Structure 1
Amino acid sequence: METTVERATASDTLMTVRAFYLDLAQWALDEPSRWGPWAVPCPVRAADVQHRKMKSRQKARMDQRTQERLPVLPALIEAVDRNRKAAAARLAAAKRARPGELFTAGGQTLRRAALKRHSPHPWAEDPATGRRRNLAREESNSFWGWAAVEVLRMTGIRIEELSEVSHHSLVQYRLPSTGEVVPLVQIAPSKSDEERLLVVSPGLADVLSAIICRVRTADGGVPLVIAYDHDEKVWNPPLPLLFQRKIGLEDRPIPIDGIRTLLQDALAATGFTDPTGKPLHFAPHDFRRIFTTDAVMNGMPPHIAQLILGHRDISTTMGYKAVYPEEAINGHRAFIARRRDLGPSEEYRSPTAEEWEEFLGHFERRKVALGACGRAYGTSCIHEHSCIRCPLLRVTPTQCPRLVEIRDNLIDRIAEAEREGWAGEAEGLKVSLAAANAKPAQLDNLITHRTTAVHLGMPAFPDIAGRHVTAEARLPTGSNELGQSKDGPQ
């Protein structure tokens, strides 16, 4: 059956047509004899295809999908896990029941089917409708759908990377500083041809452990399976892939289309709908966008998210991150609150006499023996009036001898504290001595900066005006700038 896809805009079709004509022109340059007769001017002009608007609309659609699906993700995870456990309970109850016997498990009442031919899988039928169900297949589909959802949402990897995760991909790294062992999952190169390592969180470790326990054989090893690479059109060597299951007597890998089907079946069983009432559709790439948005919104630096996702350009990573109205509203409200705290409570109000005296007194109280304190109005001293340590102290050049006396006094006091065994006193005095030694250097830099001027070679206005007046003063009466009289050359 053919499936129809609704066309979003006509720009997509115009882009496809333009790309086809441009490809023909390029092929004609490479092979003129073959493609030359077909190369014609493109009927779609570059101005007809608005790339910026198309990208903006595409980003808006992606953000809309993420905004609709991220709030549903916790409920989706719970529903998928609940369906997995219910399917496992029905399978276990069916194995205990005899043919024709009713059993209740996973919220359903079924009857163990009596088969005319032997089957390795337990079948059950609905007592009301008589429809038969393969409970083993239902349990398998529920488990692998749950596993796909969990791995995709906790790693943000692509679906083709998910199908290539093997038992060999699980590695560990020992931190040189503490010796702690960090579990990692190695992602094989796919779209960007770059291999990367992801940290295995405790939740992801539980999911991977459940997968390995399911596919592991009696001897404890993961079976080797051969997968077909649809991009390279080759069969890959045997690998212990994690996403595999037994079909009959043979272990086979779960292909990419199979993973998509398992995801859709698992999502359909949850019964979630979108705002229009249609079943909520999750594409595998939606989990990648949700992972990026959740990571960046919770404080992960964008360049770290870029490395985790395997993007070559950080703009691609930020394109995956959806901006929420709540995020914009909270940021705007925080900006308004900061402006309100910094601004006066009552604008355009004349200060009272007491307020004016307090304001002037602030600057009077900033005067100290060595110079002046540079702290802002309305702030208290953060160094408890230990001015020699404060970086806001502005030393007056005339107070350099006093600064030398303070430094010599500190040296004497440190020697006395060390002689008497006052280790705490000596430690505090050494901090003050270090600050006192830095003050002369700061003062010298300030004096040098104020007295040194750099000539940029640009004439100032007084120089230009003086030169113009002097030149006119040297000209004789009735002459122009070339030394000629108004009546002609002399």
Structure 2
Amino acid sequence: MTSTTLLAKVPAQGPVLALHGSHYKALQKAYPPRPVPETWSETTADSDTVLDRLNELFKDTAKNTRYTRWRGACHVMRWLEQFDGENWQQRWRNSPLDKNFAAGLPDLEAWVRQHLAPVPDGVLRAGILGLACADVIRPDAAWLLTRRSRHMRQIVAEHRDPDGFAALEAQAAPGIWDAKLGLQARNQIATIILAKGGKVRDITVGDCLELRGIETEVMASGAGRSLFYLWLKELEVLPPDAPATLRDFKRRAGQVSVEELVDRYNLQCRPVRDVIVDYLTERQAALDYTSLEGLSRNLAQLFWADLERHHPGIDSLRLPKNIATAWKERIRTKTRRKRQPDGSFIEITTERQSAIAVLNLVRAFYLDISQWAAEEPGRWGPWVAPNPIKESELAHKKHAKRQKAKADQRTRERLPVLPTLVQAADQQRKEARTRHLAALEVAPGATFTVLGKTYTRVKHPRWSDGVAANTVYNQEGRRCTFGYAEHRAFWAWATVEFLRHTGVRIEEMLEVSHHSITQYTLPTTGELVPLLQIAPSKTDQERLLLVSPELADVLSAIVCRIRDASGTVPLVRSYDHAERVWNPPMPLLFQWRTGGQDRSISQTTIRRALNETLDFAGLTDNTGQPLNYQPHDFRRIFITDAIMNGLPPHIAQVIAGHDDISTTMRYKAIYPTEAIEAHRAFIARRRSTRPSEEYRRPTDAEWNDFLGHFELRKLSIGACGRSFGTACIHEHACIRCPMLRPDPGERRRLVEIRDNLVDRIAEAQREGWLGDVKGLEVSLEGAKDKLAQMDAQTARARQSIYLGMPSFGEIAARAT
């Protein structure tokens, strides 16, 4: 249901308050910034001493530059003398210039023009910068950020702390120091030094926190603004227990209290606000943080804030029938504002998919208060009220069936075209790699042609961090960054391959680390089976997945890509958006280097890369509209494909990590032909077998039988690749069978078989056994094909990447 209406006359909801979590507050408390003292030696000097200090400080500077700074400082000090204060810093604080963030220096310029001589604006700016560099005044960081000079980082590095900046330059990655990222980081460090005093090694964690907070308030937060902190951390300027990064330290700021969760919605009725807080506090022990935040949003925003917005002055949970009915009608839809081309706004109303869930939570709120009132009448008794939501209003069977049908339709549309998407992802990755390497081979400003298109590389790439520096203009003059495009294409391919071979959730995929790759030794044959450990996620259940040869290829490519110059996988920190906590540094597989730092890849980046691959593939649905894939679609496809190919549902449940078999079956899409065959099979065996026998957890014997299947596939010249629970379809004629995975180590045996077949064919032709000739020739072609496969595997094995523990060896070398 969708409708478009004019803007409603109901008062608009107040702004939702931003949350600065406990992590951010704890950092502020643990690492306070350095206070700026009222006085110090340099700021108490007289004007002649200050000018002499400026001459000494800039003695190695060009004569014109030194005179400009000296002359500007003279005028600025003459102007500051008219304000109250015992030193230059106090006079600076009392001047209007310290509070004026506007462009230009209007008060200072006017006074200098009237009392001294007219001078350009740049001379006065040079004088202020000279005084700040000489530590005569310490302007606020906000003033320096809004009135920053392009000479600030250079003058501080050359004249304030050359040794400190030289040490920082030694820590910086190659090509970063003079790139835009490096210039930005140097500006931030210079700002802290001018605002707080001291040198590079005097900077504290609190100074860095304060600067990042000011930056988010007075200027846009661009990319790479935490690189300066990484430099200080690597230089060991900051203590060992300092935070590993300042990236998104406010937006990813940890958990908050129940009171803050409720107060962000500005509830007007204080008693009702308090009872909601008390209710959430009682429920907090049994809920994870995500559930607690969702419950607070449903009760505080969707329930009570909505009632206050439409019925001002309401102050009781005892709702009249008309008010309760109106609220239940509103909650079944949601409204969003959409901007029109002419600048106006319209409201678009659509059906709220979670309406029944909201009603259920509000009903539980009333029922819990009624039950708790029997135990604590003094606390909960005054809030007992008739439940405005009847049980009959929570019938969700029809809604669940619609959701199931919609999910099944998505799976039925996407499962058949998955091979096309896989092929498109691989092709896009190769083309992006080709363009990336071709652009790196030409000089800046040169024009080149690759894959039939002509590009011109930018003349002065400032973001030279190895990724964004590879920027070009296409034939239409549009700017394209081949470095980032190649990154996104690779991780889109890795995401498609990883999700379709494992069926894990996206948050589980992003938490897989190098330590997750392990192995299992079959007790009878001693064969090593590679396994992938999936960390506990939604159901808090850890599980192990068998690594197929195709998945091994993907893991090899990922590890090869993310290893640093020393051959190790970098340790990076990731943020758990569900629990609002930072995870400890781990060698995550899904990481990349951007902004001069190694970072974990976010879900937003994965989804954006996947959308680009879908655009490249050009897939459409049955209506001709672009076909989109969500990461969770691969999980449904994995379960559906596994069960359709004979995997018992109770084993699929263990692999998928579901608590209930019914959840697994809801993920499996139903096909019409499959339903007919299942019904006929049920009629045939209903007297002897109950369907529920298949939908249970596997016994130890069944699980051992499942693992033992891989032992029975061991052959003299390789391994059989047939699926679990299936019989041999070629009557064990393994040489002819395409399911045989030949072992390069048994090449000598296969050569003997081939030579024997050649001799037997010659004998059969000599004796006239034409029937044997035909059959032996088929076997000979199969042997030759298997030899070719062995040679291809051996060639790839020479190029395989060693992954540490465990080693995939021959498995990783297999061609996908």
Question: What is the TM-score of this pair, normalised by structure 1?
Answer: 0.63
Deviates more, 1:19-28 or 1:83-92: 19-28
Partner of 2:470: 122
Equivalence for 2:619: 272
1:38 to 1:114, Cα distance in 2 relative to 1, 3 A: farther
Deviation track 1:238-290 (CA, whole Å, cap 9, x = no partner) reads 10000011122211111233323332233233222222333212111110000
Structure of higher CA gyration radius? 1
**Counterpart for residue 51 of structure 1:** 396
The verdict on how the C-alpha distance between 1:13 and 1:34 changes in structure 2, with shifts beyond 3 A counting, is farther
For the pair 1:17 / 2:359, whether they are aligned, the reply is yes
Q: Indicate the residue corresponding to 2:444 in structure 1.
A: 99
Alignment CA distance shift 1:334-1:237 (3 Å): closer
Q: Match of 2:666?
A: 319
- CA-CA distance at 1:39 after TM superposition: 4.8
- Cα distance in 1, alignment partners of residues 385 and 567 from structure 2: 64
The aligned counterpart of 1:198 is 545
* Cα displacement (A) at 1:149: 1.2
Separation in structure 1 between the aligned mates of residue 349 and residue 673 of structure 2, nearest angstrom: 31
Which residue is 1:290 aligned to?
637
Matched, 1:88 2:439: no
Change (3 A) 1:39 1:284: farther
Deviates more, 1:53-62 or 1:27-36: 27-36
Superposed CA offset, 1:424-457 (max 9, x none)? xxxxxxxxxxxxxxxxxxxxxxxxxxxxxxxxxx
Paired residue secondary structure (1:323): coil
- Contact 2:461 2:470 (8 Å CA) reproduced: no
Residues 381-435 of structure 1: per-residue CA shift (max 9 Å, x gap): xxxxxxxxxxxxxxxxxxxxxxxxxxxxxxxxxxxxxxxxxxxxxxxxxxxxxxx
Q: Is the 8 A contact 1:186 1:197 kept in 2?
A: yes
2: CA distance, partners of 1:36 / 1:73: 58
**Residue 519 of structure 2: aligned partner:** 172
1:412 aligned residue: none
Partner SS, residue 64 of structure 1: helix
Quickly say closer, same or farther: Cα 1:245–1:117, change in 2 above 3 A. Answer: closer
- Look up the equivalent residue of 2:658 and give its one-letter code: H
Give, in angstroms, the shift of residue 42 of structure 1. Answer: 3.2
Q: Match for residue 474 of structure 1? A: none
Give the CA deviation at 1:115: 2.4
Whole-angstrom distance in 2 between the partners of 1:207 and 1:35: 57
Cα distance change of structure 1 residues 262 and 101 upon mapping to structure 2, 3 Å threshold: same
Deviation of 1:205 (Å): 0.4
Q: Which residue of 1 aligns with 2:650?
A: 303
The answer (yes or no) to whether the contact 1:25–1:40 under 8 Å persists in 2 is no
Compared with structure 1, are the counterparts of its residues 332 and 201 closer, same or farther at alpha carbon in structure 2 (3 Å cutoff)? Answer: same
The letter for the 1-side match of 2:411 is T
Q: How many residues align?
A: 336
> Could you report, residue by residue, the CA deviation over 1:31-59 in whole angstroms, capped at 9, with x for unpaired residues?
76676555533333222332322222221
Deviation, 1:306, is 0.7
> Residues 99 and 113 of structure 1 are in contact (CA less than 8 Å); yes or no, is this contact kept in structure 2?
yes
Q: Does 1:234 align with 2:576?
A: no
Q: Call closer, same or farther: CA 1:117–1:310 in 2, change over 3 Å.
A: closer
In structure 2, give the amino acid aligned to 1:126.
Answer: N
Cα shift readout 1:149-171 (whole Å, capped 9, x = no counterpart): 11111100011101110000000
What amino acid does structure 1 have at the position aligned with 2:364?
L
**Counterparts of 2:387 and 2:617, CA distance in 1:** 49
- Quick check: 1:169–1:187 contact (8 Å CA) kept in 2? yes
Give the alignment partner of residue 42 of structure 1, picking from 381, 384, 387.
387
* Aligned counterparts of 1:103 and 1:38: Cα–Cα separation in 2: 75
2:447 and 2:456 in contact (8 A); partners too: yes
> Structure 1 residues 56 and 6, CA, compared in 2 at 3 Å: closer, same or farther?
farther
Find the aligned partners of 2:493 and 2:526 in 1 and give their Cα distance: 34
Q: Report the 3-state secondary structure (helix = DSSP H, G, I; strand = E; otherwise coil) of the residue aligned with 1:221.
A: coil
Assess if the C-alpha contact under 8 Å between 2:424 and 2:613 holds in 1. Answer: no
1:19: Cα distance to partner?
Answer: 2.3
Contact 1:86 1:105 in 2 (8 A): no
How far apart, CA to CA, are the structure 1 residues paired with 2:644 and 2:487?
35
Q: Which amino acid in 2 is paired with 1:68?
A: E
Residue 131 and residue 179 in structure 1: after superposition, are their counterparts in 2 closer, same or farther (change >3 A)?
Answer: same
Deviation per CA, 1:54-101, whole angstroms, max 9, x where unpaired?
222221111111011111111011111111111110001111123333
CA drift of 1:6 comes to 7.6
* CA pair 117-320 structure 1, distance change in 2 beyond 3 A: closer
Distance 1:8 1:297, change over 3 A: farther
Within 5 A, what are the aligned runs for 1:202-213?
A: 202-213=549-560
Q: What is the distance in 2 between the residues matched to 1:206 and 1:78?
A: 15
| Long gaps (5+) in structure 1 | 338-490
TM-score normalised over the length of structure 2: 0.39
Q: Distance in 1 between matches of 2:424 and 2:561?
A: 21
2:407 aligned residue: 62
Distance in 2 between the 1:15 and 1:106 partners? 52
Counterpart in 2 of 1:263? 610
Distance 1:133 1:94 in 2: 11
Q: What letter matches 1:232 in structure 2?
A: E
Q: Which residue of 1 aligns with 2:456?
A: 111
- Distance (whole Å) between structure 2 residues aligned to residue 88 and residue 20 of structure 1: 53
CA drift of 1:334 comes to 9.2
The Cα shift of 1:214 comes to 0.5
| Cα shift readout 1:362-383 (whole Å, capped 9, x = no counterpart) | xxxxxxxxxxxxxxxxxxxxxx
Match of 1:145 in 2: 492
Q: Which amino acid aligns with 1:300?
A: L
In 2, the alpha carbon distance for the partners of 1:151 and 1:249 equals 27
Deviations 1:315-345 (A, max 9, x none): 11111111112434566899999xxxxxxxx
Q: Which amino acid aligns with 1:287?
A: F
Instruction: Quickly say closer, same or farther: Cα 1:188–1:331, change in 2 above 3 A.
Output: closer
Residue 188 of structure 1 corresponds to which residue in structure 2? 535
2:437 & 2:624 partners in 1: Cα distance? 35
Question: Which position in structure 2 is the counterpart of 1:26?
Answer: 368
Report the Cα distance in structure 1 between the residues aligned to 2:550 and 2:362, rounded to whole angstroms: 47
Amino acid of the residue matched to residue 81 of structure 1? Answer: D
Q: Corresponding residue for 2:418?
A: 73
Contact 2:356 2:396 in 1 (8 A): no
- Residue aligned with 1:119, SS: coil
Distance 1:38 1:183, change over 3 A: same
| Structure 1: distance between partners of 2:655 and 2:612 | 28
SS of 2:572's equivalent in the other structure is coil
2:337–2:348 Cα contact (<8 Å) kept: no
Residues 102, 109 of structure 1: 8 Å contact kept = yes
Contact 1:184–1:197 (CA under 8 A) maintained in structure 2 = yes
Pair 119,217 (structure 1): closer, same or farther in 2 beyond 3 Å = closer
Letter in 2 for 1:131: R
Q: 1:35–1:126: structure 2 CA closer, same or farther, 3 Å change rule? A: farther
Q: Which amino acid aligns with 1:26?
A: D
